[in-house]
Amino acid sequence: MVLWLCIVFHAAFAWAAISVSDVNLVAAWVTKTGDNKKYPFVILDKKNAHIYVFTSEGVPVGDAPALLGMSVGDILPAGIAGKPLSKIPPKDRITQAGRFFARKGYDNHDKVVLWVDFATQLAIHEVINVPGQRRPQRLETPTTKDNRISWGCINVPITFFQSTLMGTLSSGKGYVYILPEVLPVADFFGFNREKVIEYMQKE
């Protein structure tokens, strides 16, 4: 991605030289305000089915495509938490937006995952090969139209998960910002868009 290459060339975020995307805005806001509390952080851009990892200082480390919940939406319907996966209809299989303090843990198969929100069983994990779903292949296609397939969890490439994500979150903890796809980003996270853009232009 050209945008990502632009970011990498300037660890301090040379924002004035690039377009203002939702990822740029949230990364700048987190860096400016210290919202990540000195932890590494992750930004998931649901609209583009792409995930970004940053150090605690806001330096970009890497990015990758991601598989998401099959339905569009920012807020989980009431009563979804705790339901067996088989009881969740496709329209409710949403990757909810929000700011989360994530922790390393294990799933029910004893595989390492990054629990984004344990209460709702939302995790980032290595892509799983579900028969008939071609999940690994979906990550490799240039389009994002086939990235909506999960029950809500975020599937990422295996190497990216093991090295870039968990390597950066070496303490097993960090913040995850899942960008909304329906609601405006600045309104959702509660920051002033114009002030953040002004900050970006000064850097």
pLDDT tens column, 58-100: 999 999 999 999 999 999 887 777 777 777 777 888 999 999 9
Cβ distance 63 to 51 under 8 Å? Answer: yes
pLDDT at 14: 41
pLDDT exceeds 70 at position 50? yes
Looking at per-residue pLDDT, the higher value among 88 and 123 belongs to: 123
Distance separating alpha carbons of residues 118 and 21, to the nearest angstrom: 29
Q: Are 85 and 188 in contact (CB under 8 A)?
A: no
Residues 44 and 154 sit within 8 Å (Cβ to Cβ): yes
Percentage of residues in the chain with pLDDT exceeding 70?
A: 89
Q: How far apart are CA 64 and CA 203, in angstroms?
A: 26
Q: Is residue 145 exposed (0-12), middle (13-18) or buried (19+ Cβ within 10 Å)?
A: exposed
**Between 5 and 203, where is the model more confident?**
203
pLDDT of residue 80: 72
Which percentage of the chain shows pLDDT scores above 90?
A: 71
The dihedral sign for the CA sequence 4, 166, 173, 181: positive
The CATH superfamily label for domain 2-202 reads L,D-transpeptidase catalytic domain-like (2.40.440.10)
pLDDT at 112 over 70: yes
98-106 and 68-69 beta bridge pairing: unpaired
Over residues 157-186, the pLDDT tens digits come to 999 999 999 999 999 999 999 999 999 999
Mean of the per-residue pLDDT values for the chain? 88
The pLDDT of 42-46, averaged and rounded, is 97
Spatial separation of the C-alpha atoms in residues 189 and 17, rounded to whole Å = 24
Annotate 31-62 with three-state secondary structure.
HHHCCCCCCCEEEEECCCCEEEEECCCCCEEE
Beta strands (DSSP E) in 74-186 are: 98-106, 112-117, 122-126, 148-150, 154-156, 173-178
For residues 82 and 133, the model is more confident at 133
